[in-house]
Amino acid sequence: MTEDIYTAESDSYLPISYNKGNLIDGNTIYPPHHIIESYDLPDSMKVLYSKVEDKNEFIWKDWTFFSKEKLETLDKNNKQKHYIQLASVYLGMGWIAVLCWDKDLSKFFIHTDGGENGYTQNDNYEYFHVNVDTKKGFSLMDDTSKTFDIDELNNIDSSNIIHKSYRMT
């Protein structure tokens, strides 16, 4: 099912595809979830999340957006509090790209995660989730060159994800 979602940020429409099976009724609007509100997501993301139940994921382009329940769990378990992971896409060989929203910058960014073996996966986890904003971890404020807004997100697909991604250094 495809629906055009109006984005006030760009005064345009984004085509959003989702599995109708994830929706009880395409016309049902679910109440705002506190995790969505606390990160002050763009209005278009709020609209998307208002169309699915708290326990359901949805797919847009290549991205699988996490359920509101999973967002809440991710928020509780991670030390970083200025950004939240929203979605992921599998890149192959154990690697994924993770779409994040930084509430301080009001921008999206992508980071790679996972890896070809347990050591690399653990290193990535430590870098992006445990040692955030330390010398041994990720700090978005050191380099904001790969951040983007909702309109740019619409133009990112599997062919250019890796070029827009932050990677463990």
* Contact criterion met (CB below 8 Å) for 152 and 84: no
Tokens matching residue 132: 């955030």
Which residues have a Cβ under 8 Å from the Cβ of 49 and sit 6 or more positions away?
A: 30, 33, 36, 41, 65, 68
- Reported as a single tens digit per residue, the pLDDT across 136-152 is 888 888 889 999 998 88
Phi, then psi, of 100 in degrees rounded to 5: -125, 160
| Helix or strand run (H / E) with residue 119 | helix 118-125
Q: Which residues pair with 101 in a beta bridge?
A: 84, 108
Length, in residues, of the chain: 169
Q: Which domain holds residue 82?
A: 2-166
Phi, then psi, of 126 in degrees rounded to 5: -60, -45
Tokens matching residue 107: 């921008």
- Reported as a single tens digit per residue, the pLDDT across 81-115 is 788 999 999 999 999 999 999 988 999 999 999 99
More confident residue, 136 or 69: 69
pLDDT(5) > 60: no
pLDDT band at residue 164 under the 50/70/90 scheme:
confident
How many Cα atoms within 13 Å fall on the side-chain side of residue 11?
Answer: 0
Q: How many domains does the chain have?
A: 1
